[in-house]
Amino acid sequence: MTAAFDPDQAIDAATLGKVAVLTGGRSAEREVSLMSGAGVLQALRSQGVDAHAFDPAERPLQALKDEGFARVFIALHGRGGEDGSLQGALELLQLPYTGSGVMASSIAMDKTMTKRVWLAEGLPTPRWVLLQPGELQRERVIAVPDDLGLPLIVKPPREGSSIGISKVEGYSQMQEAVTLAAQYDPDVLCEEFITGIELTCPVLGQGAAARALPVVRIEAPDGNYDYEHKYFSEDTGYRCPSGLAPDEEAEVQRLTLAAYRALGCRGWGRADLMLRARDRKIFLLEMNTSPGMTGHSLVPMSARQAGISYERLCLLLLAQASTDSTRA
């Protein structure tokens, strides 16, 4: 039986060995990853961990083994870091790493596959249409709003940080939005737009012992929570406590935990959700298995509300590092 997640557990930094903080990488989210990695590296060092930055875009992963690293903190985002491929390589190297394993990482990175799993488990997610490479002709593209209504969201299903996403208000905008998304992914995900409150909820731990942290309410200018507003703008507002009614906060946390467990996630993660204004129904949008750890990031914000400092959070995540074959 997995022990309950304990944020107050005693951790001896000396027993964690030499630690690589994987940062940078080659994905479209490299810039964000570098910011996350810098924060994590400083935090771990402040806790007495022998931590070193390691950029997989500049060095082969075999160097992790050759240079005696004992475990890995993954601060990479997007493809090549969050999609299961890196996790598979670390499994082969037999190096414990933070976050979800190969299968959960690969499924969660693909928003379409994530939706399929959630629907199979009876979890609510917005309606969608997937356009594959042979279906990007104008006639097919402009028919999508007939199925989903307007406005709608168009996005690459295997990117993060709001990269390549468009909000489509009219038929005439569909082709441009699909063309943009297709620059990042051969498939294009078109999704029903949910008007309401944007929320996010982090999770720490594994399985039945996983714990949902306080919900964060996001208030972006004109509802435009894009790449700039996520990481660089000071105009975006965040509320934690969220200000939701206690029963709504509890329901967001319940759905988040169910979504996390359905995908087989471990270590940590963060679900993005919408609370529909007209009927207060909650919809799951996606699960992030390697969330941002920048100055604007939401997991550290929620953890602080739960009484967990940024530095302590990083140490807790590192202490949970495992492989698929060694997880508790």
Which residue is catalytic, options 79, 217, 266, 270? 270
Both structure tokens of 186: 């051969």
Active site residue 36: no
Catalytic option among 288, 290, 297, 302: 288
The answer to whether the CB of 64 falls within 8 A of the CB of 20 is yes
Packing angle, helices 298-305 and 310-319, rounded to 10: 100
Catalytic residue among 106, 161, 242, 297: 161
Measured CA to CA in angstroms, residue 56 lies from 16, 21, 59, 76 at distances of 21, 10, 5, 9
Label the pairing between strands 268-276 and 196-204.
antiparallel
Out of 225, 272, 290, 310, which one is annotated catalytic? 272
Annotation says 171 is catalytic: no
Residue 29 is a catalytic residue: yes
- Choose the catalytic residue: 184, 227, 231, 260: 231
Length of the chain measured in residues: 328
Residues 6+ apart with CB under 8 A from 143: none
Are the CB atoms for 32 and 77 separated by under 8 Å? yes
Please report, as a single letter, which amino acid is at residue 324: D
Strands (E), 81-160: 128-131, 152-155
Q: How many CB atoms lie within 10 A of CB 317?
A: 22
What per-residue string of b and e applies to 95-132 under the rule 16 or more CB within 10 Å gives b?
Answer: bbbbbbbbebbbbbbbbeebbebbeeeebebbebbebe
Q: Which tokens in the block code for residue 190?
A: 């078109």
* Structural Rg of the chain based on CA atoms: 19
Would residue 272 show up in a list of annotated catalytic residues for this protein?
yes
The catalytically annotated residue of 83, 159, 286, 311 is 286
Angle between helices 111-120 and 102-109 (to 10 degrees): 110
Catalytic residue among 24, 25, 27, 29: 29
Q: Which of 36, 205, 292, 302 is catalytic?
A: 292
Q: Do residues 199 and 268 touch, judged by C-beta distance below 8 A?
A: no
Annotated active-site positions, please? Answer: 29, 161, 231, 270, 272, 286, 288, 292
